[in-house]
Structure 1
Amino acid sequence: MEIKIRSIAPGDNAALAHIVRAALREHNMAKPGTVYTDESTDHLYELYQAPRAAYFVAEENGEILGGAGIGALEGDVCELQKMYLAPAARGKGLGKKLILQSLAFAKANGYTQCYLETSPELAQAVKVYAHLGFRDLPGPLGNTGHFGCDRWMIRDL
């Protein structure tokens, strides 16, 4: 499998929104308070044009497999955002590659910590986050608007 990781492009929005929402439906998380109902999910290219933000897309032979992004949260803390993969792309280390590339971007852009919000329904993702050094927090950090997520994690960069 020849997989390329690149920066998001304007034409990626629809495919990425489909992957994000399909993954949330698959895990019974298609509900308010998650990125499922977040309007920005349909406009990821535009969202990640902000300063100190980036979104990385994994593709194979022109087919988008998923992605992960970094956005500012508060001060020198960023957030790992919208980390989703199509079912066929899971279990191959691709999520780890996307996360590591995102964390490298974050560190290079002056962030000292990376936060994320998730849910126990995404158990495999939680295992990957913990393996990569994310630790649990007792509550949310900042105001992301994603009240449907009930697990919060952070990692020093």
Structure 2
Amino acid sequence: MDTIKIRAVTLEDNPELAQVLRDVLVEMGVPKIGTAYADIALDVMYETYSQSRKAYFVVEDAGKVIGGAGIAPLEDGDLNTCELQKMYFLAEARGKGIGLKMMNKCLDFAREQAFTRCYLETMPYMEAARKLYHKVGFKPLDSPMGNTGHHSCQEWMIKKL
């Protein structure tokens, strides 16, 4: 674990990070349309998250990117609501408490940006992720919020910050 660190995304991370995120999405059986897989941002994560009130963090193990997660204002949402975005980890990163550390890093950033609620979208079969979301206080919603473009996501959650 001492070789694992969480840090802000850099321009140099873009190609490796895009591959990691797509690999995890394919592994999880996520549809390629209507989910993060189709997001243009996957190839330009540094540029996407270098804007106001946005941040993306990568998990690195001995110099290799093994996952990440980000916070951004919810598209077409109110000014007080952010979205937890693109939180995915390679198999080698799972089950080590990294998800909780990453979640806390993202939510701390959201609070620093004066967001009062955090929204997320997920799939019902992503059980480990859903367990983590519940553990940190996310509550289920009956319908989606904002305009994420992820019409294939079937579960929506919110947390007061």
TM-score range normalised by the length of the shorter chain? over 0.9
Correspondence for 1:65: 66
- d(CA) in 2 for partners of 1:23, 1:4: 19
TM-score, with normalisation over the residues of structure 2? 0.95
- d(CA) in 2 for partners of 1:84, 1:27: 10
Q: CA deviation at 1:69?
A: 0.2
1:143 equivalent in alignment to 2:152: no
Correspondence for 1:35: 36
Q: CA deviation at 1:30?
A: 3.6
Task: Map 1:93-132; keep pairs closer than 5 Å.
Answer: 93-132=97-136
The question of whether the paired residues in 2 share the 8 Å contact of 1:136 and 1:154 is answered with: yes
Correspondence for 1:44: 45
Q: CA deviation at 1:79?
A: 0.2
The question of whether the paired residues in 2 share the 8 Å contact of 1:31 and 1:148 is answered with: no
- d(CA) in 1 for partners of 2:59, 2:15: 14
Q: CA deviation at 1:9?
A: 0.3
Residue 91 of structure 1 aligns with an amino acid whose one-letter code is: G
- d(CA) in 1 for partners of 2:120, 2:155: 8
The SS at the match of 1:36 is: helix
Q: CA deviation at 1:50?
A: 1.3
Correspondence for 1:90: 94
Q: What whole-Å deviation, never above 9, does each CA across 1:103-154 have from its counterpart, x for those lacking one?
A: 0000011000000000012111011101110000000000110101010000
Q: What whole-Å deviation, never above 9, does each CA across 1:55-104 have from its counterpart, x for those lacking one?
A: 11111211111111000013100000000101101010101111110000
The question of whether the paired residues in 1 share the 8 Å contact of 2:31 and 2:152 is answered with: no
The SS at the match of 2:38 is: coil
Pairwise CA RMSD of aligned residues? 0.9
Residue 55 of structure 1 aligns with an amino acid whose one-letter code is: Y
Residue 108 of structure 2 aligns with an amino acid whose one-letter code is: A
Residue 52 of structure 1 aligns with an amino acid whose one-letter code is: R
- d(CA) in 2 for partners of 1:50, 1:122: 29
Q: Which segment drifts farther, 141-150 or 22-31? A: 22-31
- Structure 2 residue runs of 5 or longer lacking an equivalent are none
The question of whether the paired residues in 2 share the 8 Å contact of 1:21 and 1:30 is answered with: no
